[in-house]
A = this chain, B = another copy of it.
Amino acid sequence: MDTKSRILETALALYNEQGIQSVTSRHIAAEMGISPGNLHYHFRHTDDIIVALYEALSAQMDALVFEMERIENARPEALLDFAEHTFPVVFKYRFIFLHFPEIGLRVPSVKKQYTELVKRRQKEFLSFFKAWQEKGIFRKDVPPQILQTLVTQIFLAGDYWLSHNELTARLKGKEAARAYRQVFAGLFWPYLTEKGRKKFSR
């Protein structure tokens, strides 16, 4: 594998283990057994490594959304499946989710990109719910602003389940996935109609 990719790989491992604060370009180079000069030949600035890793995460998330939209999406399980598919990606790039505010301060462009992404996603999710209402899967007697809070709740869970787990039960791998899948399910289960609930339970 070429050096540039190895730098990204090593940096990801170190950032995930130790956070971004205590991992320096020298540490990454030492871990790989290359010189600092060589590392900075491939990435002029240390922050460029973080940007590259964020872009990799972003691309993988986009791919998942694309996949979700490609297949049938007019089922409540679609959203749950999507959430579940994101778990390994979130875990792979966990330092980004755990240390996002620090990253945002160091690399403002990342913060800006992310806020724009969230805006788009929120609209998408809201339109999912409305489509489900049309199909009689979702309750129609839910006021719009309540539906809006549901979107917020989903984003809170999606972005911070990892941080929460880190500070509480510290579940590992499959167990964590099961627990937080349940949390997601619990979020919109109350809003399903009888019909939707039948489709949903399995």
Contact = CB atoms under 8 A, between A and B. Distances in A.
A182 to B, nearest CB: 5
Nearest to A181: B149
User: Copies per complex?
Assistant: 2
A140 to B, nearest CB: 15
Given A155-B164, A159-B164, A161-B156, A149 B105 contact: no
Nearest to A155: B164
A189 to B, nearest CB: 7
Per DSSP, chain A at the interface is helix
Interface in A146-189: 146, 149-150, 152-153, 155-157, 159-161, 163-164, 166-168, 182-183, 185-187, 189
A28 B149 CA distance: 39
Interface residues of A, number: 43
Contacts of A146: 186, 189
A168 B119 contact: yes
Contacts of A149: 182-183, 185-187
Contacts of A104: 167
